[in-house]
């Protein structure tokens, strides 16, 4: 509540009356980051709420495990909180949008973690499947999913990242290039190599699908 009051005061500026209610409008990531830089936890909660699902999704794709993905997401938001004061918005001295910066943090944390030896989380171990009803379909889906995850994890780091950003997260090659600090051409080249490797690595699944 205090943060809302502070936000209203900031919008009013000295000696100006508030003519409309700014709280009814969603605050931009940049506005939230400015508030977080002053220690505003309400703004932080709002920002996390807005980006949590996609951050977990990206981290999970990069890590190949939901549990690891959630841990990376937690760590990434902790960094957002602790580095908020140093972040500069695009056009305000910075060179990236908030999401570009956030995904770069996720990417770095995921790469860092991937290089460390880990143990498999219990959560990632397949649960027994009820073979009644669509049990066999479920088993098949899991097998395909596991095969793709395994093949993805075998890709060189940068190919995996490019594929996760562009194919799975639907980012443009320009945005992916900014996150990865690469040119659009370099991103495209990584994507081509990644998909070629996956086509070879997933030949069995691929043929099964072609025949079906």
The reply on whether position 37 binds another protein by CB under 8 A is no
Tell me the window of 1-9, 65-73, 92-100, 114-122 that interacts with another protein (CB under 8 A).
65-73
Q: Indicate the SS3 state at residue 36.
A: helix
The reply on whether position 82 binds another protein by CB under 8 A is yes
CA distance 67 to 73: 10
CA distance 88 to 78: 17
Spell out where 121-198 has E strands: none
Residue 11 vs 186, nearer CB to another protein: 186
Looking at 6, 81, 104, 157, which residue binds another protein (CB under 8 A)?
81
Report H helices in 13-97.
29-36, 41-63, 66-83
Give every CB contact of residue 84 below 8 A, 6+ residues apart in sequence: 33, 36, 37, 44
Q: Is 126 exposed, middle or buried (0-12, 13-18, 19+ CB in 10 A)?
A: exposed
Contacts with another protein, 149-188, as mask; x by CB under 8 A = x--x-------------xxx-x-xx----------x---x
- The residues facing 90 across adjacent strands are 94
Looking at 48, 96, 129, 186, which residue binds another protein (CB under 8 A)?
48
Q: Which residues sit at the interface with another protein, rule CB under 8 A?
A: 39, 41, 44-45, 48-49, 52-53, 56-57, 60-61, 66, 69-70, 73-74, 77-78, 81-82, 141, 144-145, 148-149, 152, 166-168, 170, 172-173, 184, 188-189, 191-192, 195-196, 198-199, 202, 205-206, 209-210
């Amino acid at each position: 509540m205090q943060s809302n009051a502070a936000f209203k005061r900031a919008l009013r500026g000295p000696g100006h009356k508030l003519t409309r209610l700014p709280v009814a409008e969603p605050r931009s990531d940049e506005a939230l980051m400015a508030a977080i830089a002053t220690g505003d936890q309400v703004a932080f909660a709002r920002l996390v709420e807005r980006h949590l699902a996609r951050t977990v999704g990206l981290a999970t794709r990069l890590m190949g495990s939901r549990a690891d993905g959630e841990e990376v997401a937690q760590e990434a938001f902790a960094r957002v909180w602790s580095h908020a004061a140093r972040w500069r918005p695009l056009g305000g001295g910075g060179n990236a949008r908030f999401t570009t910066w956030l995904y770069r943090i996720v990417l770095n944390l995921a790469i860092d973690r991937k290089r460390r030896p880990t143990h498999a989380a219990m959560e990632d171990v397949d649960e027994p499947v009820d073979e009644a009803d669509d049990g066999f379909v479920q088993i098949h889906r899991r097998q395909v999913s596991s095969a793709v995850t395994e093949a993805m994890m075998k890709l060189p780091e940068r190919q995996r990242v490019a594929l996760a950003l562009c194919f799975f997260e639907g980012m443009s090659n320009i945005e992916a290039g900014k996150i990865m600090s690469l040119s659009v051409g370099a991103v495209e080249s990584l994507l081509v190599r990644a998909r070629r490797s996956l086509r070879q690595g997933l030949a069995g699944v691929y043929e099964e699908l072609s025949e079906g």
